[in-house]
Amino acid sequence: MNFLDGEILYIDKPLGWTSFNVVSRVRNSLSRRMGIRRLKVGHAGTLDPLATGVMIVCTGRATKRIDQLQAGVKEYIATIALGATTPSFDLETEIDATYPTGHITEELVRHTLGRFVGTIEQVPPAYSACKVDGKRAYALARKGKDVELKPKILVIDSIELLSFAPDSIEVRVVCGKGTYIRALARDIGQALGSGAHLTALRRTRVGDALIDNCLTVDQVAELIRTTDIEMPQQPD
């Protein structure tokens, strides 16, 4: 493998890790094996720490393909709790309000999900990496400051209801770049006349990268340790 010329790795990001944690692990493993301090390593598409699944990590000259790779269609499996909201729209923050759910039926959920398929407007979460006056929105939100973000146009190809319970649903979402599944959970809750927040998220596809083809972080580290690698040329 030639990590300087560029390699593309499909990694199953663990729960609790940031995308930066994964990139750092790959970079450090490569630096130790190759005996170099600087090596370009980047990822195509951020995943929140509370999400798992497909992350595409590029090295060397392959980092030039990041924009192209992260533009690929994405697929997620999301578990959404009904009847309660949190400021971050997921489990990062505590529940701040509860709502009745007795009126929510499976038929209502299926009808409501259909309203979010196609080209839609979505306001990103305040707890996101979007920039406000040059600062990350999440940094401002975590300080208790009001964050106002403008809606973005995005495309959701399909939403499939996988399971329904009185207090939660599981859905498969196929969507384009820029979709916040946390914000989708918020909007679904509002459309159901209740509240909702994301409790689990797994990305199962990014373009041609499928979860079944991903390696764990430890497997990638072992691959780097044991595989034949093209080493940088030493000066004469």
Q: Which residues are catalytic?
A: 48
Give CA angle at 137 (135, 142), nearest 5°: 110
Segment holding 84, helix H or strand E: strand 84-85
Exposure b/e, 55-65, CB count within 10 A at least 16 = b: bbbbbbebbee
In 10 A of CB 49, how many CB atoms?
16
Q: Which are the contacts of 200, defined by CB distance < 8 A and separation ≥ 6?
A: 50, 78, 79
Rounded to whole angstroms, the Cα distance separating 81 from 61 reads 42
CA atoms within 13 A on the CB side of 222: 6
**Do 182 and 31 form a contact (C-beta atoms < 8 A)?**
no
Of 114, 115, 136, nearest to 124 by C-alpha is: 136
- Write the DSSP assignment of 13-26 as a string of letters: EPTT--HHHHHHHH
Q: What φ, ψ does residue 192 adopt, rounded to 5°?
A: -80, 0
